[in-house]
Amino acid sequence: MPVGTSSAALNLASALDPADLELARSPLRVELPDDVRERVARCRRFVLGFNGTGRAIYGVTTGFGPMVEFAGRADSAAQNDNTIFHLIVGHGELLPPAVARAAVLARLFSLAQGRSGVSEEVVTSLIAMLGTEFAPAVPRLGSLGASGDLQPLAYVAHALRGNGDAFFRGQLMPAGEALDKAGLTTLRLDGRDALAVVNGTSVTSAALGLAVAQAIRARHIAELLSALLTDVLGCGQEFTSVGLLAAFGHPDVADTGASLRTWLAGSTPSGARPLQESYSIRCTPQLIGAAGTSVRHAEEVVRRDLNGVSDNPLFFPETGEVVHGGNFFGQPSAFAADQLNVALVQLGNLAERQLDLLVDPHRTNGLPPMLSPQPGQHHAIQGVQLGATATLASMRRAATPASMQSLPTNLHNQDVVPLGTQAALTALDQARLLRYLHAAVALGLRQAVHVGARRPQAPLLAEVFDRIAAEVPPIVEDRPLDTALGTIADLLDVIGSEVEGAR
């Protein structure tokens, strides 16, 4: 029996949401309803019915890519071997197990649409894998996001067949050993199985979906921290005016203003601040709201990807059609990932500037430099700011769009490619780096109150502040703060999820 159980469950007859992908980090129960099982089996029968008819079907009777003009191997098992083996050439660091497992979940939902001709055994094997702590070892580099995520998904099939490497409970080991520890049987492939597994953009969709889920939390956290900064410094709140933001004409900006007003309810300006604050306070509705628009767009795009079919060709048993086309071309997610990437970097710019404001005595009504209780003897947030600056520089350097960096390849069969996999993985990297910047701001706010800033007056903000303070004591003397930043980042994720759940 497979090792590992989970209370979380998904149903293959339901829509897959970007947030559902995060469930795959742990053992996940996926239900296969009878109607889904039947549509998969029906398509499989339809595809196998072409055996011996002489009809050319890409990847079933032909070679792959530009080799389509040549016949494929007559033996089905050998054809499946060729599909996988010629793609095991990836390199670079391995994807985190949670990302590889999310990709398996995304591929499973595509195959369950019953348009790929895959066997029921493949579907049940992917379900069984997700129910354990097994994860394929998948190199990061190798996919163009066109003709699907061929190489990374080939590594998924390779590991499930007991070849190469895999993770079990986070430990890297030979795939056969990991299968044994997880209680899984080796995956068998025939018919069109191998091509159906690899010929979709499921790694791209999974990475973008995970990035979107984190970005949604990041928007809530940015609103929270901006409100907390406003309250702790005693700033005026005119910049959150309902009428002002409605006049701007952007609904997401107005929504951010409403969120700020909710957080700030019960807080009164000190009267000691300038008439107009720096943009890192005054323009937060416009900046965070605009980022929210980009996040929402990416969420819509990836949700469509996750619930569509990425493969080629597609099979329509009800009409007797086999349709060759380009449903493996990940351009929608590539564009959305690059747009999300830019929005995440701008949220990082905001956080870094808010931290800089906090450590500057000229802009905080006289709080000590670097929020140190004994400047010179102790340095408090000084190292944190250096790390934040380096993190933001890294994010900016990674903000070059991937979605238009097309390079022709594959004997010009793939003469234009979207590189969506790289765009999506970069967006996921950016979302994770942003966690550090937000944690740095939260740590700065916690320390600011310790060295003389007022405690937040708004009840909701005071509650959040107390949760942060309970996790991280004030900096009285210099000490390592890396663990504290990780703790705060995790706490902010929890708070961001709570806010999203309450919407």
- Tens-place pLDDT, residues 360-377: 999 999 999 999 999 999
Does residue 229 share a domain with residue 190? Answer: no
pLDDT score at 8: 82
Q: What is the rounded average pLDDT of the residues 262-282? A: 95
- Considering the domain architecture, whether residues 188 and 229 belong to the same structural domain is answered as no
In terms of Cα–Cα distance, which of 27, 25, 35 is closest to 100?
25
Q: What is the pLDDT of residues 169-224, one digit of tens each?
A: 999 999 999 999 999 999 999 989 999 999 999 999 999 999 999 999 999 999 99
In a domain, 318, yes or no: no
Please check whether residue 161 lies inside any domain of the structure. Answer: yes
Is 188 inside any structural domain? yes
DSSP 475: -
Give pLDDT, residue 57. 85
Residue 1 lies in a domain: no
Annotated catalytic, 58? yes
- Point out the domain boundary residue: 178, 200, 222: 200
285: buried, middle or exposed (CB in 10 Å: 19+, 13-18, 0-12)?
A: buried
Task: Please indicate, yes or no, whether residues 143 and 161 belong to a single structural domain of this protein.
Answer: yes
Q: For 410-446, how does the pLDDT look when each residue is reduced to its tens digit (9 = 90+)?
A: 888 788 898 899 999 999 999 999 999 999 999 999 9
**1 pLDDT more than 50:** no
User: Is the pLDDT assigned to residue 4 strictly greater than 60?
Assistant: no
> What single letter denotes the amino acid at residue 74?
A
Tell me the two tokens of residue 286: 């416009």
Half-sphere exposure of 289 (CA within 13 A, CB side): 21
Regarding whether 217 and 188 lie in a shared domain, the answer is no
Supply angle C-alpha 430, 435, 439, rounded to 5. 150
- Does the predicted TM-score (pTM) go above 0.75? yes
For residue 65, what pLDDT is reported?
A: 79
Residue 50 — pLDDT band, cuts 50, 70, 90? confident
Q: Indicate the range of 311-315, 384-388, 461-465 predicted with least confidence.
A: 311-315
Tokens of 102: 């999310």
Options 58, 155, 279, 436, the catalytic residue: 58
Domain finish residue from 141, 167, 200: 200
In a domain, 4, yes or no: no
Query: Which residue among 200, 216, 233 closes a domain?
Result: 200
Question: 216 and 194, same structural domain?
Answer: no
For the segment 75-100, what is each residue's pLDDT rounded down to a tens digit? 788 888 988 999 999 999 999 999 99
Same domain? For 180 and 235 the reply is no
CATH number, residue 172: 1.10.275.10
The answer on pLDDT for 7 being more than 60 is no
Measure CA 65 to chain center: 29
Query: Quick one: 187 and 221 in the same domain?
Result: no
Q: What is the pLDDT of residues 285-334, one digit of tens each?
A: 999 999 999 999 999 999 999 999 999 999 999 999 999 999 999 999 99
Mean pLDDT across the stretch 53-72?
82
**Displacement of CA 301 from its chain's centroid (Å):** 13
Asked if 294 contacts 339 with a C-beta cutoff of 8 angstroms, the reply is yes
Task: State the Cα–Cα distance between residues 381 and 319, nearest whole angstrom.
Answer: 66
Q: How far apart are CA 169 and CA 171, in angstroms?
A: 6
The beta strand positions in 296-397, using DSSP E, are: 314-316, 321-323
Please write the tens of the pLDDT for every residue from 479-496. Answer: 999 999 999 999 999 999
Given this model, what pLDDT does residue 409 score?
83
Tell whether 188 and 213 lie within a shared domain.
Answer: no
Domain count, the chain: 2
108 and 239 belong to one structural domain: no
CATH number of residue 235's parent domain = 1.20.200.10
Residue 131, burial from CB neighbour count under 10 angstroms (0-12, 13-18, 19+):
buried
Mean pLDDT over residues 26-47, rounded? Answer: 97
The predicted structure's pLDDT at residue 6: 52
Taking the alpha carbons of 102, 103, 106, 109 in that order, is the dihedral positive or negative?
A: negative
Residue range of the domain that includes 237: 208-312+323-502
Question: Does residue 16 share a domain with residue 61?
Answer: yes
Q: State how far the Cα of 35 lies from the Cα of 44, in Å rounded to an integer.
A: 14
Percentage of the chain surpassing pLDDT 70?
99
pLDDT-derived band at 67 (thresholds 50, 70, 90) equals confident
Over the chain, what is the mean pLDDT? 95
- Percent of the chain at pLDDT exceeding 90: 85
Answer whether residue 305 is part of any domain. Answer: yes
Same domain? 284 vs 370:
yes
In a domain, 51, yes or no: yes
pLDDT of residue 3: 52
Of 168 and 53, more confident? 168
88 and 185 housed in the same domain? yes
Q: Which residues contact 268 (CB under 8 A, 6 or more apart)?
A: 457
DSSP states along 97-158: HHHHHHHHHHHHHHHTTS-S---HHHHHHHHHHHTTTEEE--EEE---SSSSSHHHHHHHHH
Residue 2 lies in a domain: no
